[in-house]
Amino acid sequence: MCVKNIEHLPNIQHKNHVSFAPRLTINPREDSLSKGIALSVSASVLFAVMYYYTSLLTPLSGVEIFGWRMLLTVPCMTVFMLVSGEWRRVLELVRVVAAKPKLVAGLSVSAALLGVQLWLFMWAPLNGYSLDVSLGYFLLPLAMVLTGRIAYGESLSYLQKIAVFFASLGVLNELYQVGGFSWATLVVVVGYPLYFVLRKYLKTDHLGGLWVDMTLMLPVAWWFVQGGEQGLGVFDQYPGLMWLIPLLGLISASALVVYIIASRLLPFSLFGLLSYVEPVLLLGVALLLGESIKSGEWLTYIPIWLAVVVLIFEGFKHLTRQRRP
């Protein structure tokens, strides 16, 4: 998975002008929200694809997959940033750190928070913690909403309140079914909001900051790959992985880049609510892999789906407003 610069763009009133062609009035804030919603959903789709993709990487373990993902994601991200002009963000951050060396400690904590989340996402399904992590992702949007209200004083729209209500019903049923929180659940629910808040505080809530976080993980990633059961000799025993592993890095980099851009375009609360799309897609992946929904779990997923429908409807309203003459 995971990543935040919240931009509150003012409403701009356009005066009427005489013109021979129709003129569209586009509110920059509405345009930003529409793009953010579309990118957030796209990121969720890519993460779900990556979740399924790990099943093709046998016999790699969860930590080995995490290691390869990090080693390959950073070069892909670097190319993207050089092409898109975002590399200047890295240079700016390097200059800031050079002027304020104390920021290194904060950046290390930021990288550790993200690294734990990315490792858990790859490790949990192969070690019996997939249910606990999925519960964490169900709870995460509510935790993000609460963080947005407390830390930034954000308010929810009417439709967002309805989505929170439906989602809360699903989460409560999941809590009833599971009976408590595991350490894996708490890592997701507490770790991600802390990560986003820390990035905003450090002013690293941009692609340059994400690149630095990922780069700081590389020594650990190399240790996981080199010290794993398969090691670098995995390509000799399983030649097919020579193509599958690099593609994992490309999918991972694309998902993270889209995710961070979406987080910059959306208010904290809406960004958190849209996180519900991902666990729903992960459910679809689980069904493709042969898992099934138990009778008591339908009361979890149906309200979550209703919440997603409400958010999609709100996104459609933003698009309609944007195109209204």
Question: What pLDDT score does 1 carry?
Answer: 54
Instruction: Quote the tokens at residue 276.
Output: 């519900």
Question: What pLDDT score does 322 carry?
Answer: 57
Four-residue CA torsion sign, 175, 179, 184, 189: positive
CA distance 256 to 81: 12
Question: What pLDDT score does 25 carry?
Answer: 45
**Cα distances (Å, whole numbers) of residue 72 to 51, 79, 152, 269, 296:** 16, 11, 35, 31, 40
Four-residue CA torsion sign, 212, 217, 219, 225: negative
**Cα distances (Å, whole numbers) of residue 153 to 5, 141, 165, 285:** 15, 16, 19, 36
H or E element in which residue 196 lies = helix 183-202
Residue in the structure block whose two tokens are 């959306």: 266
Instruction: Quote the tokens at residue 253.
Output: 């980099």
For the chain (325 residues), the mean pLDDT of every run of 10, in chain order, is 37 34 48 83 89 82 90 89 90 93 93 93 78 78 79 80 86 77 87 92 88 94 84 79 87 84 78 77 74 77 83 72 60
Question: What pLDDT score does 220 carry?
Answer: 93
Residue from 114, 109, 137 nearest 51 by CA? 137
